Copies of this chain bind each other. A is one copy, B any other.
Amino acid sequence: MNKNDSIKKIYSLCEHDYNFENEKELKELLAPYKEGAIGIAQLNPIVGNLEYNAKKILKYIKHAQNIGLDLVVFPELALVGYPFGDILNRYPNFADENIKWLNQIAKMTEKTAAFVGFVDFDTENKDKICSSIAILQNGVIQKIIKKSDKNASVVINNKKYLIVSGDNGLENIDRNCDVIINCCASIASENYNQFQILSLLSKKYSTPIVRVNQVGAIDNFSFDGASVVFDKNGEVQAFAKTFEEQFFIVNPDNNLGKIYQSTEMYNQCHQKDEAFSLDYEKDLERTYKTVIQGIKDYFCKNGFKRAVLGLSGGLDSTVCAVLLADALGAENVFGISMPSKITSNESKTDAQQLAQNLGINFATLPIKDIVESANTSLQGLFSNIESRWSGRYKESYTMDNIQARSRAVILWGVSNEFDSCLPIATSDKSEAYMGYATINGDMSGGFAPIADITKTKLFALARWLNKNREVKNAIPESIILKRPGAELAIDPNTGKPLCAEDALMPYEFMDEVIWRIENKKECYEDMLSSEFMYERAHKISKEQKILWLDKFYKRMNVALYKWSILPPSINVDSDISEKVEYKKPIISSKINFQSRTEEEIRANLNS
C-alpha cells in the first residue's frame, strides 16, 4: 500500500462506527507516523453517569494503547459530562466518586498517556470544586492541572504539551511548547466563536493547537463536537465529524489529520450580522442535525425509545413526526389523528398520508365524545360560578382549549400505558413567543423538538426535508401550502377555521421581530426605525407596523408563564443555557417596552 492509500485507510477507519477489531491493521498503518501522534476522543458523555463515561474513556485509552499512540485526549469534564447543574449539591459524594473512577482508570493506563477532564476539589477550599485535567500514564495520575492553572505543561515522550482547559485560558499562553492541547466542553455557538482566535494563536506562536470538544445533547444544550486541529501556520489540519462521537488520529508533526467535516457550513450559518431573510437554506442541515441529536440523546440517555404525538395535518406536528421518525425509527413513532368537529377532511387525509409516507404507526381517534362531556359539565359549572363571580368573558378560548387538552389527555394516556414512550409537545418558537399554545394541550409533552424553531424556518425545513431525505416528498405539499392555524375555532367572517396569522400577525413579520431581539439585541424603538423585510415586500403603513409591534411585545410579556412550564426542548437558534432564552421574572410582565421621553416621565411622576 502506498503512503497515500495507507493514510486514506487510517482516515476511513476513523470515519464512522469506530471498529476496534482492526487495531492490528491500524497500528501497522500508523507506524510511520507514530511519533507525536495524538488520538482525539470526541466523547458523548451521559452527564452524571460515571460508570458509562469511565467505561467509554477507558475503551478509548486502551484502543490508543493498542494502536501505539503517545497520547489520547478527552474533552473538559469528560468523566462527569457538562453541564452538570447542581449535581454536586444534591449528591455530595459525587466529586469523591469521580475521583475514585479516575484513580481506577489511571491504574489501567500503560505507556500511552491520557488527558482526562474531571472534577477536582479546590486546593485551598475543599468545599469548592474545579474543572481539572488529569494526566494519566503508566498506571498512575502523573499530574493534575486545574482550570485556573496557567501555562501548565507536561512532557510525554520528549514532547512538551501545554494544556488549556476551556475557552478562557487561551490568552497569554506560554509559547514554549510543542503542542497546545485545548480540552473543552463548549456548545456550538461558543465553540465556533473560538476558531478564529485558535487559528491566530497557532500562527502567532508557530505551534499546533489541538482542540477536543464534547459532542451530544444534554437536555436543551447541544454540543456538536467539531473538534479541530490547527497546524502551526494557523490552518485547519483536522476537523472531526459533527454531531457524532468520534475517535480520530492526528499528528501535528507530519500532516496526518483529516478534515472529516467542513467548517464552511458552520462559518456560514453563524454569521449573525446579516439582515433577516427567509432564506434559511444554508442553516437547515445544521438545524436538522441539532434536533435529531437532541431527540436521540434525550430519549436514549433517559431510557425512552418511543414517541406518541398528535397529527393534526398542520406544519408543526408534521415536522415533528418527520424528525422523530428519523431520530427514533419510524416503527417507534405513533401518530394519532384526533379530529374534533372543526377538523377539516383535508387535515385528516393529510395526516394519514404523512404517516403512510413516513412509515410510522397511525391511528384515528375522534375526540368528539370527550369534548362534549367536558363541555356539558363545564357549561353547568359556569352558570353556577356566574351567580357568584362577575367577569365571565363574552368571548373566551375555553372551548378551543378543551379540544387541545383532550388530545393531551389521550397522548399522556398512551405514554402512561406503554413502556418507554414519551408524548411530544409540538409547539414552535413563534407560537411560544406569542403564547399561542394551550397549557396542558399542544405545549404539553415529555419533549418539545421544535420549540426553538420559528414558523418560517419550519416551512423552509419542511421543504428541505422533502428534498434531502432518502424518501423524497414525504410531507404532502398540501400541508406546506396550508396557512397555519390551530383548527380550534371557526372564524365568524369566513366560516372556516381561524388562521393564526389573522389572530396574530404575519409570521414573516413576527419571526423578524424574534430574530431582531435575539440576534441584534434591538429594542422596540430600534425596530420602529429600521425597515423590515415584510415592509419592503408589502408596503404596510407605519400604523400597521406599530399595531403589530405592540401586539408582539404585549403578548410576549404575558407569555412568560407558558415559557416557564414548557417541556425540555433543544436549543437550535438560542445561545443560552436555559430551557428557552427567556428567564426574566414572570411578574415583570408589566414592563414598559417603549422608551419614554424625559418629559413624559416628568409628567407621569407629577400625576
Chain A residues with CB under 8 Å of chain B are: 46-52, 54-55, 58, 81, 83-87, 89-94, 96-97, 100-101, 103-105, 107-108, 218-219, 297-298, 301-303, 306, 334, 336, 361, 363, 365, 367, 369-370, 372-374, 376-378, 380-382, 384-385, 388-393, 396-398, 401-402, 405-406, 408-410, 412-414, 416-421, 439-440, 444, 446, 517, 521-526, 561, 564-568, 579, 581-593, 595-596, 598, 601-602, 604-605
Contacts and interface: CB of A to CB of B under 8 A. Distances in A.
9 contacts: A90-B582, A377-B410, A378-B417, A389-B421, A392-B419, A393-B417, A401-B416, A561-B568, A564-B579
Contacts of A581: 86
A127 to B, nearest CB: 10
A586 B447 CA distance: 11
B584 A90 contact: yes
Contacts of A421: 389, 391
A584 B115 CA distance: 26
A27 B367 CA distance: 70
Nearest 9 pairs between A and B by C-beta? Answer: A48-B588, A391-B419, A85-B584, A48-B591, A93-B523, A398-B416, A301-B587, A440-B440, A373-B373
Contacts of A96: 595
B48 A605 contact: no
A391 to B, nearest CB: 3
A331 to B, nearest CB: 8
Contact of A91 (B86, B591, B598): B591
A396 B419 CA distance: 10
B419 A393 contact: yes
A561 B589 CA distance: 26
Contact of A377 (B297, B369, B402, B601): B369
Nearest to A400: B416
Contacts of A369: 373, 376-377
Contacts of A388: 334, 361
A409 B440 contact: yes
A438 to B, nearest CB: 9
